[in-house]
Amino acid sequence: MTDRQHVENLVKYRLERAKETVEDAKLLAKVGHWNPCVNRLCYSCFYAVTALLIQHGLSSSKHTGVRSLFNREFVRTEKIPKKMAMLYNDLFEKRQEGDYVDFVYFSESEIAPLIRQTEDFVNHMENTVGKK
């Protein structure tokens, strides 16, 4: 397998993980598990963004590094709409809060609208990756 094939396979895998993880979030939403739903939504964005970064020869081993590269290389340069970064950043903050802060309980009204937005985010990243 060539390096190019490896990159293509990895990008495809990350996009598949992003879609699968949104589906996980939907299942959690159906049973009212909003905190883990946020976690899955955040990871869905993370997988989609890492696919984009990998395609462009960029990577980071940390979530903060991935967000930083995404913002610097794609949002500030207006290759990706700012609203996409705002969603990813919001989900990241909510995930941090829901996973690591005691007595945090997200509600359906807070999180349910983010599911569709995350699907749109993943689709946008997939379309962007497909254009290169």
CATH number at residue 86: 1.20.120.330
At residue 61, the pLDDT reads 84
At residue 1, the pLDDT reads 75
Which region holds residue 101: left if phi is over 0, alpha if psi is between -120 and 50, else beta?
beta
What's the average pLDDT block by block, 10 residues per block, for the chain (132 residues)? Answer: 90 98 99 98 98 96 94 96 97 96 97 98 95 69
In 10 A of CB 46, how many CB atoms?
22
User: 85-90 — which CB contacts under 8 Å span 24+ positions?
Assistant: 87/45, 87/114, 87/117, 87/118, 87/121, 88/42, 88/45, 88/46, 88/49, 88/121, 90/114
At residue 46, the pLDDT reads 98
Give the domain extent around 89.
Answer: 3-131
What does each C-alpha distance from 19 to 100, 117, 119 come to in angstroms?
A: 25, 13, 8
The tally of domains found in the chain comes to: 1
Q: Which three-class secondary structure state does DSSP give residue 32?
A: coil
At residue 2, the pLDDT reads 84
At residue 132, the pLDDT reads 64
At residue 108, the pLDDT reads 98
